[in-house]
Structure 1
Amino acid sequence: MPETALLDTEARDVLGTGRTAAEPLVHNPWDGVTAGVWRVRAGDRTAVLKVLTRTKETDGHWAASDDPRHWNYWRREAHVYESGLAQVWQPYGIRAPRLLASVERPDGDVALWLEDVPGEPGTSWPLARHIEHARRLGVAQGAARPSDEPWLSRRFLRDYVGGKNLGQDLLDDDEAWRQPLVRDHFPAGLRRDMVRLHHDRDWFLDVMQSLPRAFGHLDHWPANVRAHGPDGVLFDWAFAGDGALGEDLGNYLPDSVFDLFVPADRLPEYAAAAYEAYLHGLRESGWRGDEHLVRLAVCASAVKYDWLTAGMLARADAEQLDYGGHRTVSAGLRYRERGSALTFLAGWAAEARALAPRLGFPEAPSGR
C-alpha cells in the first residue's frame, strides 16, 4: 500500500478533503518501473494513482532503465502525460486518461494522478468493438505524424524480444515437447514453425525496423483500453515510441487471445476484419502509402512472440496465473488457446516470408 501520510497529502491536493482510501489495481507486478497502481477515493471523488520508480528490485528483463531510449525507461510515461503526447490520438476517438497531477516525490519516484475512467473494459468487448477500435487506430496512426521526443523508445521490438530468454534452450528439447500440457494441447507442426520463427528472428526484426514508421503505443492490448462514451481510453503509455505502421495492431490481435479475452477459434475472422478496418482508417485519414507494407508489418509482428513458446515450455509444470498473478487459470485452456493462436501467428510469419521479397526485402534465411 502507498505510504499513508504522503498519499493523504497528495490526495488532498488532487481530490480535495475527505477520508482517503486506496484500492490496489491489477498491473504487471514484475515490472521494475511500476511501484504500484491504486484507485484512490477521497469523499465522493476518485482518481487513479500510478507510482513510477527506478529502485524496485525485479529480474533483469523487467528492470527499470535510466536510458531515455530504452524500452523500459522508468520515467517515460510521466513524460508522455506531461507533454500532452498521450492525447495526440484524441481527435480520432482514442484518448488517454486526463492527467490530474504529476508529483515529484522526495525519494525520487513520480506519482501520476490520473482520471478514474468508468466504462466497459476492453477485456470484455464484443468483437465488433475491437474492430471499430482497429479502425480508429488506423485513422489516428495515419493522421498523426511520428514524434521524435528524446524520451520515446527506439528499437522497442528488438530490445524487448532480445531480453526474453526463458526456455530458449528447450525449443530443441524432445522432453520439453513431451510434457503433457504441451503434448496434449499444442497443435501438430507448431514445434517446427516456432523453431523456424526463432531461427529467423533477426530477419524479422530487420524487416520491422525498415518499414514505414508511426508513433506507437507498443503495449496495445485489450487490458489497456476501456470504452468511455464514444471514446476508447488507452492506458499505460510506458513503452510509447517509434514503431512500424501496423505494429500496434499486430500486438493487439494475438494478445486478445493469449490472455483469454477472445476465443482462439474466432481469431482468423477477427484478425481479418480488424485488419481491413485498420486499413480503412488509414485511408480515411488521407494516408496514401503502400498497404502491402502495412500488411507486412502486421504479419512480421509475429516475431514479438518468439519468446512465448519457449516460456510456455519452461512453465508447463508451474501453476498458471492470470495477468497480475492474483488467480489461477485453467492450464489446459491456456495451453490450448495459446497453442492455437501461435499456430495462427505461424501463418502470419509464413505470409511475411513470402511477401517481403516481393517488396524488395531479402529472403528469410530459412526460405533460401
Structure 2
Amino acid sequence: MPETALLKAEAREVLGAGRVAVEPLTHNPKNGVTAGVWRVRAGDRSAVLKVLTRNKKAAGHWAASDDPRHWNYWRREAHVYESGLARTWQPYGIRAPRLLASVERADGDIALWLEDVPGEAGPSWSLARHIEHARRLGAAQGAAVPGPAQPWFSHRFLREYIGGNTLGQELLDEDEAWQQPLVRDHFPAGLRHEMVRLHHDREWFLHIMESLPRTLSHLDQWPANLRAHGPDNVLFDWAFTGDGALGEDLGNYLPDSVFDLFVPAARLPEYAAAAYEAYLHGLRESGWRGDEHLVRLAVCASAVKYDWLTALMLARAGEEQWDYGGRGTVSAGLRYRERGLALAFLADWAAEARALAPPLGFPAPPSGRR
C-alpha cells in the first residue's frame, strides 16, 4: 500500500475532495520498475495510480535499469505519457488511458495518475474483437513506418528480454525433464525436437527480427493489457515501448492470448490466420505499400520470443501453477495442455520462417544447412 498521507494529498489534487479508498490492481509484482498499481476513489471520481520506481529490489532480469534503451528502463512509461506518444495510435482506434497527472515524488519515484477506463476487458473479448484489434494495429503501425525516434525507446527488445529468461535451459536436453507427468502427458509428440531446435537457432531468429522493417511498437500487447471503451481499444502498460519489427506486436499478441488461457488453443490456427489477414488489411488501409512477405516473416520469426517458455515449464512442472499476478492457482493439466498446443503452433511458425527467409535474401538457419 502506498504511503497514505502522500496518496491522499495527490488524490485531492487529481480527483478533488472526498473520502479516499484504495484498491490494489493486478500487475507483475516481480518487475522492479513497478512499485504498485491501484484504483483510487475520492467521492464519485476514480483514477488508476501507477508508481514507477528504480528503488525496488527485483531478482534477475526484472531489475529496473537506468539505461534509456534497455527494455526495462524504469522511467520509459512516464516519457510515453508526458511526450504525448501514447496518443499516436488514437486515429486508428487504439489509445492509452488519459494522463491526469505525472508527479515526481521526493524519493525519486514517479506517480502516474491515469484515467480509470470502464468497459470490457480484453480477456473476455470475442475472437471477432481480437481480430478487429489486429486490423487497427496494422493501420496504426503501417502509418508509423519507419517509426519516430526517441532516445528512451527500447532497442533490441527481443534479444535482451529473452536473454534474461534463463531458468531451466539446462533441462532442454535432459530426458528426465521431458518425462515429468505434466510434460509427458500434455505436450504434443515431437514438441521436444522442435523446441530444442528453436533454442539452437535463437541467434538466427534474432538476427532476422532485427533486420526487418521497423515501426513504433508497444512490445507488450496481450489481451490483459486491453479494454474496449466506446469506439476505442484502450491499451495499457507502455513500459517496453520502442523499436520493433513490423508484425512483431501481432506475433506477441496471438500466442499470448492462448498462453494465459483467454483463447482456446484449438482455435489458434483459425484465429491467427484471420488476425494476420486483418493486420495486412490495416497496413494497406494506412497507405503502407511494402512487401507483405517481410511482415509474414516477422510474425513467424517472433516465435523466438517464447524460446524461454519451454525451459521454464520444464523447470516448474513440479510446482503449483499460479495465474498472472500470483493471486490464484490454475489447473496445471489445462495450462500444460494449452501451452503445449500453442508451442507446437509456434514450431510451425518457426518452420515457416526458416522457409521464408532465404528467398527474401536472408541466410538459411544453421539447423537447415548441410
TM-score (normalised: structure 1): 1.00
Residues 1:342 and 2:343 aligned together: yes
* Residues 27-46 of structure 1: pairs in structure 2 closer than 5 A: 27-46=27-46
Supply the AA of the counterpart residue of 1:79: H
Supply the AA of the counterpart residue of 2:231: P
Deviations 1:204-232 (Å, cap 9, x if unpaired)? 00000000000000000000010001110
**Alpha-carbon distance in 2 for matches of 1:6, 1:153:** 31
Corresponding position of 1:117: 117
Unaligned runs of 5+ in 2: none
Deviations 1:263-305 (Å, cap 9, x if unpaired)? 0000000000000000000001000000000000000000000
Deviation at 1:250, TM superposition (A): 0.1
* Residues 1-368 of structure 1: pairs in structure 2 closer than 5 A: 1-145=1-145, 146-368=147-369
What SS does structure 1 have at the residue aligned with 2:71? coil
Deviation at 1:147, TM superposition (A): 1.6
What SS does structure 1 have at the residue aligned with 2:26? coil
Supply the AA of the counterpart residue of 1:273: A
**Alpha-carbon distance in 2 for matches of 1:215, 1:236:** 15
**Alpha-carbon distance in 2 for matches of 1:25, 1:147:** 32
Supply the AA of the counterpart residue of 1:247: E
**Alpha-carbon distance in 1 for matches of 2:60, 2:176:** 27
**Alpha-carbon distance in 2 for matches of 1:79, 1:167:** 35
Deviation at 1:43, TM superposition (A): 0.3
**Alpha-carbon distance in 2 for matches of 1:186, 1:315:** 14
**Alpha-carbon distance in 2 for matches of 1:161, 1:148:** 23
Supply the AA of the counterpart residue of 2:196: V
Supply the AA of the counterpart residue of 2:203: D
**Alpha-carbon distance in 2 for matches of 1:230, 1:144:** 21
What SS does structure 1 have at the residue aligned with 2:66? coil
Deviation at 1:58, TM superposition (A): 1.2
Deviations 1:147-204 (Å, cap 9, x if unpaired)? 2110110000111011110000000010000000000000000000000000000000
**Alpha-carbon distance in 1 for matches of 2:82, 2:55:** 22
Supply the AA of the counterpart residue of 1:88: T
TM-score (normalised: structure 2): 0.99
Deviations 1:102-134 (Å, cap 9, x if unpaired)? 000000000000000000000010000000000
Supply the AA of the counterpart residue of 1:277: A
**Alpha-carbon distance in 1 for matches of 2:43, 2:349:** 51
Deviations 1:49-71 (Å, cap 9, x if unpaired)? 00000011111110000000000
**Alpha-carbon distance in 2 for matches of 1:8, 1:63:** 29
Supply the AA of the counterpart residue of 1:259: D
Deviation at 1:144, TM superposition (A): 2.2
Supply the AA of the counterpart residue of 1:261: F
Unaligned runs of 5+ in 1: none
**Alpha-carbon distance in 1 for matches of 2:293, 2:143:** 19
Identity of aligned residues (%): 83
What SS does structure 2 have at the residue aligned with 1:344? helix
What SS does structure 2 have at the residue aligned with 1:313? helix
Supply the AA of the counterpart residue of 2:333: G
**Alpha-carbon distance in 2 for matches of 1:327, 1:191:** 29
CA RMSD of aligned residues (A): 0.4
**Deviating runs (4+, > 3 A) in structure 1?**
none
**Alpha-carbon distance in 2 for matches of 1:231, 1:140:** 13
What SS does structure 2 have at the residue aligned with 1:40? strand
**Alpha-carbon distance in 1 for matches of 2:253, 2:106:** 37
Aligned length, in residue pairs: 368
Deviations 1:292-335 (Å, cap 9, x if unpaired)? 00000000000000000000000000110000000000000000
What SS does structure 2 have at the residue aligned with 1:61? helix
